[in-house]
Copies of this chain bind each other. A is one copy, B any other.
Amino acid sequence: MTVTLLRNDVFAEEVTAALLVIGDEILSGRTKDKNIGYVAEHCTEIGIRLREVRIVPDDEAAIIAALDTLRAAYTYVFTTGGIGPTHDDITADAIAKAFNASIDVDPRAVAVLRERYAEADLTPARLRMARIPEGAELIENSVSKAPGFMIGNVIVMAGIPAIMQAMLQAVTPRLRKGAKLLSYSIRVNAPEGFVAGPLRDCQRAFPDVAMGSYPFSEDGRYGTHLVLRSIDEALLKQAKADLISRLPPDINFSE
């Protein structure tokens, strides 16, 4: 657990997370991931620092190795993918194995599936989606019922974006949150090379503010977004004023 010293001498706990994306189809390029950006933005909004993302195949050993590393290193690990009804959906079983927990069809999850499926449609394949490791808490799926779950510090969600988003919203009230990372962005109508010097000098003057430079091109012209980030709003305002004062006078910018 990392502790960040705020300017007002209050210790704020830093809450961190990693995201583990599980699926052969992402690594083959067949499916384009749409969850990483969403989870990243959501974490930033609620004061959780997403520190690492890994994408691994539907392979038990690969899932367990990544999971064990990540759950030891960060406050939370989110996973997406591999909890559907087919034989290649092995996430729940791999996670049970990582936690050395037993896993079976969970009556709570079956009850949820019954809200959607008639008894005759509760095929063995569908009941696979009710396999939940012992000791896990269910996460509601308002889209298609089959639940996600949370075990220890690991939050297991579906890979389909609409369902993943519903599960992420559902689990959010249960998570600890840290100080929210604030950011200021300045848009400069000049390539990075013209603003790199001022940004570096500003970074030296404000070592506790994270500063980044993100080039873009628009209608064939290069521009740069300069972004300052801190959990301390007053410090951030000072850094921004300092940075603007350092920009060359012939450069246009907008906030």
Contact = CB atoms under 8 A, between A and B. Distances in A.
Interface of A: 21, 24-33, 36-44, 49-58, 62, 84-89, 121, 123-126, 128, 160, 162, 181, 183, 192-197, 199-200, 203, 210-215, 217, 227, 229
A53 B22 CA distance: 11
A255 B60 CA distance: 30
A211 to B, nearest CB: 7
A125 B197 CA distance: 7
A38 to B, nearest CB: 8
Chain A's interface: helix, strand, loop or mixed, by majority? mixed
A253 to B, nearest CB: 15
Tally of this chain's copies: 2
A86 B192 contact: yes
Interface centre among A33, A195, A212, A217 (most CB of B within 10 A): A212
A200 B86 contact: yes
Contact of A212 (B25, B52, B192, B214): B25
Contacts of A199: 86-87
Nearest to A213: B86
Nearest 3 Cβ contacts at the A-B interface: A29-B41, A125-B196, A29-B40
Contact of A53 (B37, B38, B55, B87): B55
Contact of A29 (B26, B42, B89, B195): B42
B30 A183 contact: yes
B196 A86 contact: yes
B84 A215 contact: yes
A252 B126 CA distance: 20
A37 B27 CA distance: 8
14 contacts: A26-B36, A27-B49, A27-B51, A29-B42, A29-B44, A29-B50, A33-B37, A51-B62, A52-B57, A52-B62, A85-B192, A86-B192, A126-B196, A128-B196
Contacts of A193: 85, 121, 123, 125-126
B41 A87 contact: no
Given A29-B40, A40-B27, A87 B200 contact: yes
A228 to B, nearest CB: 11
